[in-house]
Chains A and B, each alone.
Chain A
Amino acid sequence: MRRVPWALIVFLAALFVPAAGSRYYTFLANDVIIWALFATSLNLLVGYTGLVSFGHAAYFGIGAYTTGILMKKVGVSFLLAFPTAGIVAALFALVFGFFCVRLTRIYFAMLTLAFAQIVWAICFKWNEVTGGEQGMPEIPYPDFAWVDRVAAFLPFLGGYRTAEHFYFVTLLLVAACLVLLRRIVGSPFGRMLATIRENPERAEFIGVNVRRYELAAFVLAGGFAGLAGGLFGIFNRGVFPDFAYWTKSSEVLIMTLLGGMGAFFGPALGAAVLIWLNQQIVSYTEYWPLVLGTILVVLLFVFPGGIAGAAMALRHRLRRRAARA
């Protein structure tokens, strides 16, 4: 079976969404792409390193608030605010992670939750800086004035609205981040994370400083989540405290599981399926949590590898059958 470059195909198809679809589909696609980055960043921790975090939304929220505060209150440009979101989130991940990786299993999860709730509480109550309960509505879009000037030379760039400009920006930035993440998990560092996930004690025995690797994974995951948050704050036209609330952490965890923690693009797939499913179901019934919960139960009992896992298992079985024939 030839290796089909799925990722490239999806990326190219995504480029044509604004041209082909309605504003609503661009909106959905934008949502999916940002969550895909968020979920993939979490998978670095959960799928690749075996660390179950219940507080990943904290870094998403930190990234969103950083971008929001910088762009809205300080007037910084997007080019500067976006990477800063990632860096600030990574710094927080460094501080929080330092304490978290010293713990294991349930205590690790509880501490990630505690830190996330602390971040939420600060965002929720620090009215002067974060806007408190109201959040910060109206985060400015990046400055797209230059597009019209460039469109004079490259006509296919013209004729798009601001939201669509931002969609392209999101697509390109997230694609770049995913390429980077792919490199990371494929590198010796990434393979070491897998070793740690399999058996942390054995890794210690062979001389690996497990904590340092885990902390590095934590910081990277936090940083990329922060970048996703920065994009989301602008996309959502406002930054609100529940970006950091623990239920957001569980949403992204479910996406990761749904898509499949064992595959690199599993979480991205999970994000797409979940968001699409959500907006389909919501037009028929308000009981989306019931549907989601049922899907989750089915996943856990029947398809623990998620969609990607099931697909790979199926492919494996087909190959075996072909080989035997």
Chain B
Amino acid sequence: MQISSSRQGSTNTFFLLVGGAVVLLIVLTLLLAGLNRRGRTALTGASDVESGGLFFYCAAGMQPPIEKIVAEYGDQYDIPVRVQYGGSATLLSQLEVSGTGDVYLAADDGYTDLAYEKGLVEERIPVASMCPVIAVQKGNPKGIRSIQDLLRKDVRVALGNPDQAAIGKKTRKLLEDAGCWEAIEEHVTKKGVFKPTVPEVANDVKLGSVDAGIVWNATAAQYAELEAVRTEELDRGAAQITIAVLQRSKTPTAALKFARFLAARDRGLEYFAETGYEPVDGDVWEETPEITFFAGSVNRRALEPIIKRFQEREGVIVNTVYNGCGILTAQMRTLRENQDSGFPDVYMACDVYYLETVQDLFREGVNVSNTDIVIVTQAGNPKGIKSLEDLAKPGMRVAVGQPDQCTIGVLSRRLLESEGLSEKIRPNIVTETATSALLVPQVTTGAADAVLAYATDTLAESEKLQVVPIDSPLAAAIQPFSIARSSDFKYLGERLFATIERSPDAFTSAGFKWRLSSTVTEGSKGKGSVESEEETGDPEQP
């Protein structure tokens, strides 16, 4: 079979080849697109879990912004969201009892924290904050200017019920702190009224059935007929509106997607802003966000299952870039904090050293795990190595990581220098490897008698090796997790961190030691900003 035809009217090979190439390219592109789609569904789990709509427990005072958000979401994504309004506490008991529902928005994070502790909710996303004020009719006819004024005989007051509405609970707390709760409670019971939701309090003031009520500043702003009076005591009571995804939701990914929409700075939060709330600096909205995760290669085994779970649950895509940390930091420096160009949203380094070199680009890191640096030698310890000093014995062949090229190199050098052994061991060093992965093979192949390597590297071939621990606080690499300052998905990053926090097994089975607190059921962890280093327990202990 020839390409140039022997028939009359032979074809021009050029066109044949070009045509063939084009056809092949089209076929290949289609194959790639198909592969991409299949990969995507494998990444994010079943793609369309969103039939049937969502059920939303929502604190009553939020109705104005929520109505608009739900309408827009329903229009855009054709998913009906049924909303049940009520007092934050009332809703909480309802959802506890009913066992159905997808999302819960409370007027204060105290409720969502409680729900989390009870195991009723999974993810919590901050939305906005607000502050209690005294609402009076426009013009303040009775001249109410302080809490004391509320106790006047001629002033009828409405308050939210502390057992039903967030405003009620908050008011009680603030007034308790101010020392006048009992007086007020008595006053309101006799001459005023407790209402189950904050709009009802506001309405009462508006209608004139009471003279004043304590409501949220945002609520007051929604009523043209009302005026807000701020007081020192009330100003101390800022509340964090938080939306939470229910544990028992049958469509958690869909619920999360809606929650993200609501908490997105260019979607839901805009409605909150325009109705008088103070929104947080939420994530940017994307239907299927893609975030970039730079991680040192050593972390891969531990991170892979965590990332997979995270992607499936959140319906997001995490682009992972693994490499030696030196290269990763070089990449970061050239990308100049432009997430579009590929600068990471989150970063887990092989050691804090490599976070310090780019610390200005990231929020403060949280130490997740550590892996010990140990001496590795052949099984049976033929050279009788007991400590670092033994590496300086004449005739000992030692291999270490190259200090400029890999984390283990930097840390080994630091360790040896701290023990004063750097110069003594130097004549014994037969090679400096470019990555940690190449160290253990030096021992298994007999090219070196001992190496300074990560304990995790010895797992795969433990039968052939003997591990000699090193007694020094510097004999460990500590892996920190941090979020980029420039990321548009900081809250998503924090939820990724929360997933990591809940997965100590992934790390321990990969040979790492866990550093985060082992009891993660306390309410305050896993939400809010990851600002400070959280290291509990003795770092030396596993």
- Do these two chains really belong together in a complex? no
Query: A residues near B, CB below 8 A?
Result: none
